[in-house]
Amino acid sequence: DNVNRISTLRKKDFPITDHNHGKARVRVLKVDKSSSVHKVYEYTVQTKVWSPKYELAFSKEDNTDLVATDTQKNTVYVVAKRTKANSPEQFGLDLCLQFMNEYNVLTAAEATVEMCQWERSIVDGERHEHGFEKHSPEMQVAVVKIDRKGDDDDSATGEGYTTSVTSFIQKMTILKTTQSGFEGYLKDKYTLLPETTERCVATELDCTWTYTLDQDGMTASFSELDYIDIRSRIRELLIKGIFGPAKGGVYSASLQATIYDAACLILEDEELACVHSVKLYTPNLHYLPMKSLEMLGETFEDDVFIPTSEPSGTITCTVCRE
């Protein structure tokens, strides 16, 4: 009997300081067949929506106008069908805009969009039209949030909203086998690490960047940015900053110095005037010299190492425009 059903146990209500709800781990594959050379985009999406009215769902058992998480999940697939969905950023923008335009009750919507890497297969030296392989754990990620300014008639065009976009490269795994050292650090009774000017350095790098839309006095919109080109250029400069020229490379006095140099390369690049800040997170992947080879009758010549990722040093640097 629903009339006599007990649904609360509390004796007192306390203030709710924050609330939202959404759907996580929504997986979708978008295949672009607009030409004989297909393109694929595989995403994992998490959505969140906000509305002051939804406080009642928590405190008063009132689900009126609540956009269910299943509805949010289905919207992901609808937007994937209706749009190009060719970058995490643009897919996230289109998804959040759909939520905000469709549901006036919402004051904000957020989408976290992760895209895994599919590489076109090579057959007899030629890139295949519709065959793909997954080689790397590297992920392309974006977090997009759109907030409603108010009861603005221009909401459908995005002018009634404020938008934020943050982009990421995650799990970019890199290794350089020379041109790296570490010297001059504090040494005390707890220090066992010897100085070196020759070592392997490796990391599973995460790069995060934010955007500025006011470039040389000209204000753009987030929908006008070419996120594919921006991401490609940032990755290219990360590789250049860490490794240096293909012949000879560049010396790394420390991972700290190297990632700062790479971040500055990104911010000084004319093609990336839209980038406001760059954050690099570089947990060490250690390759320890197997110097005990000498006890086995062999000579260590910076050529045999023991891979380990635990324990791991963690180094973070955020660089932004003035």
Q: What is the DSSP string of 117-175?
A: --EEEEETTEEEEEEEE-----EEEEEEEEEE-SS-TTGGGTTTEEEEEEEEEEEEEEE
Burial class of residue 91, CB neighbours in 10 A (0-12, 13-18, 19+):
buried
Listed residue (5, 33, 166, 29) closest to 96, CA to CA = 166
Cβ-proximal residues to 50 (8 Å cutoff; 6+ apart), any chain: 19, 20, 106, 107, 108, 109
Residue the block writes with tokens 């009997």:
1
Q: Which letter, b or e, does each residue of 33-49 get, where b requires 16 or more Cβ atoms within 10 Å of its Cβ?
A: eeeeeebebbbbbbbbb
Sort 216 into a burial class: Cβ within 10 Å, 0-12 / 13-18 / 19+.
exposed
Catalytic residue among 44, 69, 71, 107: 69
Q: Each residue of 233-284: pLDDT tens digit?
A: 999 999 999 999 999 999 999 999 999 999 999 999 999 999 999 999 999 9
- Name the nearest CA neighbour of 132 among 235, 27, 38, 28: 38
- Tell me if residue 38 is catalytic: no
Mind listing the pLDDT tens digit of every residue in the chain (322 residues)? 566 788 999 999 999 999 999 999 999 999 999 999 999 999 999 999 999 999 999 999 999 999 999 999 999 999 999 999 999 999 999 999 999 999 999 999 999 999 999 999 999 999 999 999 998 899 999 999 999 986 545 554 456 899 999 999 999 999 999 999 999 999 999 999 999 999 999 999 999 999 998 766 555 689 899 999 999 999 999 999 999 999 999 999 999 999 999 999 999 999 999 999 999 999 999 999 999 999 999 999 999 999 998 999 999 999 999 8
With beta carbons less than 8 A apart as the criterion, state whether 40 and 132 touch. Answer: yes
What pLDDT is stored for residue 151 in this prediction?
A: 54
Token pair listed for 156: 């459908």
Catalytic residue among 23, 48, 145, 176: 23
Q: Where are the beta strands (DSSP E) in 177-248?
A: 201-211, 214-215, 218-219
What span, in angstroms and rounded, lies between the C-alpha atoms of 88 and 274?
17
Active site annotation includes 279: no
What are the E-state strand segments in the chain?
A: 21-32, 39-50, 108-116, 119-123, 126-133, 139-148, 161-176, 201-211, 214-215, 218-219, 275-283, 286-289, 305-308, 314-320
Residue 149 designated active-site: no
